[in-house]
Amino acid sequence: MSSWTINRYQTMVAVLMPVVMVAMTVRVCAIEIATTEKRLLADAADGAIEEFSLFESSLIASGITTPEVIDRYCENFAERTSKLGAADSDEGRPNDQTERIYDFLHEEFLTGKYHSNCTEVNLALDFGDYNCVTATILYHCVSQMYGLSPIAVATNTHVRSRILGEHPYDVETTCRDWFDISRQDPTAQTFRTQQQVTRQLSDVELIAKIYYNRGVSLLEHKQFASAISLLRRSQMLDSTDLPTRDNLAAGLNNWALAECDTANFEKAAELIQQGLHEYPENGPLLANDIHIHQRWAVSLCNEDRYADAMQVLHVAHQRRTDVPLFEHGRLAVLAQWATSLYENGQFEDASQLFADAKVWFDELPEISRCRSIAIREAAASLERGGRADEASRLVRWGGESDMTNNHY
């Protein structure tokens, strides 16, 4: 079956760490959902969060689920943000409240560096490092404490804040000098606010981005089960997000290929089927459905498990009758199976195999052709092995059988 090949088609995982860029019945839950997190997901099921604040929700989505730890972060956050009220009357501070809050955010919280994979809010609180999702969430949390209600907007590759009003404007929460830049070059503000295609996010959908980024980060490190688990939580909170959908499909596809590389073909096929159940038109999943079944069947044939190989391909053929490789692969397995029987002198067993093959194939000429190929291949193999007499006997038997047997 060496000629039965297909090019491997592996999709690359969409990498979104700066923000949101751009994966059946089986489900994976590699990261256990804590009680607090279950409450958050249940609370957010209707599209709004009522039991938790945005700050508490962001901590839970970041993996901080112990109530005592959440309380400590909340107390620390309240203490640190209280400094802004005392600074409001300081001379030299900007008059605009949104800019004052922005400056305070970078002076008090975002004191480290931007890192695309710094997606957990607690990292920004502990070390000052951030990405656009965590920076935007913290900006909103501080703003809400002082009576402002910015909204989050997202492009395919970024998240930022928008201040609504008669003249809405966007705030790049990761850019330390954003207000100075927008004053010096108003076109930068105009481009972001009016010309870039953005999608408005609710607080629930903004929280979903934390799960999304955590999931994509784990995909990059090939921690597939945990990554899929997190991406599913993101999808629960934001069912329409296309990057989440794309990365779920890519994650399932690449996880299946990883399992295939370790010869865990059954698991690989299961993951592909899960992906195709959810994303039936996904090109990489469709291609790797064929690739994995090919390798699985070849492996089984190499172990002389021809019946199992035939069953694997037959089930796949019934599911996807339009795939020529599944049809031709079954014929290749049948021919190789019969060749093995002929080489071992099991002529009658081979005859019975072809009689039984009518269960798998509707066209009898194909079975007859496989029989002829198997006899030729077996005879040639016997000749190469110095067993010319047995080869001649097989050829004679095949010719006599053709004249007396009309099954094929």
**Model confidence pLDDT, tens digit, residues 230-248:** 999 999 999 999 999 999 9
Determine contact, residues 181/175, Cβ cutoff 8 Å.
Answer: yes
Q: What are phi and psi of 88, to 5 degrees?
A: -60, -30
Does the pLDDT of residue 378 top 50, yes or no? Answer: yes
Higher pLDDT, 349 or 361: 349
Determine contact, residues 367/355, Cβ cutoff 8 Å.
Answer: no
In angstroms, the CA 33 to CA 172 distance is 33
Q: What is the chain's mean pLDDT, rounded?
A: 85
End-to-end CA distance of the chain: 23
Per-residue confidence (pLDDT) for residue 69, from 0 to 100: 97
Minimum mean pLDDT range among 81-85, 198-202, 326-330, 396-400: 396-400
Higher pLDDT, 260 or 95: 260
pLDDT tens for each residue of 117-135: 899 999 999 999 999 999 9
Domain ranges, ordered by start, for the chain: 49-201, 304-408
In angstroms, the CA 234 to CA 211 distance is 5
pTM, entire model: 0.82
Q: How confident is the model at residue 180 (pLDDT cuts 50, 70, 90)?
A: confident
Determine contact, residues 355/316, Cβ cutoff 8 Å.
Answer: no
Per-residue confidence (pLDDT) for residue 255, from 0 to 100: 98
Q: How confident is the model at residue 220 (pLDDT cuts 50, 70, 90)?
A: very high
Does the pLDDT of residue 350 top 80, yes or no? Answer: yes
DSSP H helical ranges for 88-177: 97-108, 121-127, 132-145
Report the pLDDT averaged over residues 156-164: 88
In angstroms, the CA 239 to CA 16 distance is 18
Per-residue confidence (pLDDT) for residue 191, from 0 to 100: 65
Minimum mean pLDDT range among 15-29, 37-51, 286-300: 15-29
Higher pLDDT, 345 or 101: 101
Minimum mean pLDDT range among 50-54, 108-112, 159-163, 191-195: 191-195
Does the pLDDT of residue 44 top 80, yes or no? Answer: yes
Residue type for position 208: A
Higher pLDDT, 279 or 30: 279
Most confident among 4-8, 112-116, 154-158, 363-367 (mean pLDDT):
112-116
Per-residue confidence (pLDDT) for residue 197, from 0 to 100: 67
Per-residue confidence (pLDDT) for residue 396, from 0 to 100: 84
Q: How confident is the model at residue 86 (pLDDT cuts 50, 70, 90)?
A: low
Share of the chain above pLDDT 90, in %: 58
